[in-house]
Amino acid sequence: MLYCTPGKATMPGNRTGDPTAAAKLKAEEEYSIGYEYMKQTRFTEAVPHFQAAIDLWPAYYGAYIALAQTYRSQGDFTGAESTYARAKRFDPADTRAYEGMGALYFSDLKKYSEALAEYHAALTFDSTNVNILNSIASIYAVMKDYDNAFAFYNRSLFYEPENISSSFAVAKLYIEKGEPEKAVSYLETLKEKRPEVSDIRKQLGDVYLQMKKYDKAAQEFDWLLVKYPDNAYYHLQLGLIRQKQEKYQAALKEYEEARRLAPGDAAALYYLADLNIVRGKYAQAEANVREALALVSDSSYSFILLGDVYERKGYSAKLAWEKKKTRENQSSGISAVNFLNQSIACYGQGKNNGQYASYASAEIDRCANWVKQIKEELWYIGVKP
């Protein structure tokens, strides 16, 4: 959330009313008090001071903007919308009300057409404003209107060619369009111009990893770790690259280092659990997940990983059962059923997160079919699991 500074709000260009000098002074005092509360995120206490400033000085544009932002921070979107609208009446050429309304419609209300209208209106007053151009591009990107998104990011880069955020946004658009090769080409060109910029290297490493170009991805993260050896994320990504290359000991080393650097972050534990599942070390994987759950008790991904652990255990027991479907081997069949039922329960908890719902549902169906099959085979030899 961007806040108005007292200095900007009290510039002459923001005063279109003409109250007495004493009223103006008192209004500015009220604004300053409200602004201090706003900086401390004490929004409820900020509101009456901004409102008092407006009552004293009805055309105090900056106070309207600050009040609208405070309402928005409180989740009072109706109040924010009406306050931005009031601000426009007093200084229709100041873009802050349009930008604030655009952000409200885009980020909070998901009214993309209305957001575009506000930002385009702002652009008529400040056609070279990079923030406005990037905001318009971002909305088009969310709407999957890639042609317009590229057009506005390119306009932004015309005015600020070195703007890294805009450049990353263009690369991200290529990835979203399913054109990672163009994203890489774009980022490699940026790297040639600015080889010292770490964010370019990170973005390149991530894209190369996505493209399964593991050697190139490793080069970028190796470079980053020379410069930032204590960055846990870089260790995790390099570990994932090594895991994909089936260099499991190297992966383990990176994951453990990430865990040491960020002991309160569950991410390293998730990576370790996944690696241990791949290595068939299910007890270690389960211990990793249990530790992660102690840090983040409602993590859907933890339950997905637990589901994977029990599914692998169940599948191993299923294979053992299928070698010899007799009473003497019934323990393998019963173990398979028990593990697979545990897997189903865990996937059921994990699928509450929409990100994992499709995967979890498919695994539940597969495990349920195996359970049904094994139970029928056990019943056939007179064993009730």
pLDDT tens track for 6-41: 333 333 334 444 678 899 999 999 999 999 999 999
Give domain status of residue 99, yes or no. Answer: no
Q: Are the C-beta atoms of 205 and 224 separated by less than 8 Å?
A: yes
pLDDT of residue 206: 94
**Of residues 246, 237, 247, the one with CA closest to residue 216:** 237
Structure token pair of residue 86: 């009031």
Apex 271 CA angle, 269 and 272, nearest 5: 60
Counted domains in the chain: 2
What's the alpha-carbon Rg for the chain, to the nearest Å? 29
Listed as ranges, residues in the chain with pLDDT below 50 are 1-17
pLDDT of residue 9: 38
CA distances from 143 to 9, 36, 148, 221 (A): 34, 37, 10, 33
**Among 41, 69, 94, where does a domain finish?**
94
Look at residue 60 and give its three-state secondary structure.
strand
Q: Which domain holds residue 336?
A: 308-385
pLDDT of residue 4: 45
pLDDT of residue 98: 97
Give dist(CA 65, CA 43) in Å, integer.
14
**Among 73, 94, 115, where does a domain finish?**
94
pLDDT of residue 5: 37
Give domain status of residue 104, yes or no. Answer: no
User: Which residues 6+ apart lie within 8 Å of 375 measured at CB?
Assistant: 337, 385
Give domain status of residue 370, yes or no. Answer: yes
Look at residue 147 and give its three-state secondary structure.
helix
Give domain status of residue 132, yes or no. Answer: no
Residue 268 CB burial class (10 angstroms; 0-12, 13-18, ≥19): buried
pLDDT of residue 1: 43
Q: What single DSSP character describes residue 15?
A: B
Give domain status of residue 70, yes or no. Answer: yes
pLDDT of residue 92: 85
Give domain status of residue 374, yes or no. Answer: yes
Give domain status of residue 351, yes or no. Answer: yes
Give domain status of residue 180, yes or no. Answer: no
**pTM greater than 0.85:** no
CATH label of the domain that carries residue 18:
1.25.40.10
pLDDT of residue 140: 97
**Among 94, 128, 148, where does a domain finish?**
94
Torsion of CA 334, 340, 343, 347, to 10 degrees: -150
pLDDT of residue 340: 97
pLDDT of residue 18: 63
